């Protein structure tokens, strides 16, 4: 994994988007295979919800660590 320089919330948001997308790409196949009996639209919706949850969590952590400007 490449090291990122994070100087502000926007940089962190971009990193979070990229990292969560990578997590879904790496782990999403397992989710899809496990849920293969369901509708593909449901699987995609679930994966997107997981991705957003990861982003929201990471941004929540960032907001707690960085003082307001």
**Cα–Cα distance between 31 and 47 in angstroms, integer?**
8
Q: What is the pLDDT of residue 49?
A: 80
- pLDDT tens digits along 36-63: 776 777 777 778 888 888 888 888 878 8
Is residue 14, in this structure, part of any structural domain at all?
A: no
Q: Vertex 45, ends 27 and 19: CA angle to 5°?
A: 40
Is residue 34, in this structure, part of any structural domain at all?
A: yes
Q: Which domain holds residue 63?
A: 25-69
Q: What is the pTM of this model?
A: 0.60
Is residue 41, in this structure, part of any structural domain at all?
A: yes
Is residue 13, in this structure, part of any structural domain at all?
A: no
**Cα–Cα distance between 16 and 51 in angstroms, integer?**
10
* Domains: count for the chain: 1
| 31 contacts 43 by C-beta, under 8 angstroms | yes
Is residue 53, in this structure, part of any structural domain at all?
A: yes
Is residue 61, in this structure, part of any structural domain at all?
A: yes
Q: What is the pLDDT of residue 35?
A: 78
């Amino acid at each position: 994994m490449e090291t990122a320089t994070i100087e502000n919330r926007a940089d962190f948001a971009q990193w979070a988007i990229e990292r969560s997308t990578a997590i879904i790409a790496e782990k999403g196949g397992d989710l899809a295979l496990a849920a293969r009996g369901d509708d593909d639209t449901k699987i995609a919706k679930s994966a997107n919800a997981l991705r957003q949850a990861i982003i929201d969590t990471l941004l929540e952590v960032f907001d707690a660590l960085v003082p307001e400007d």
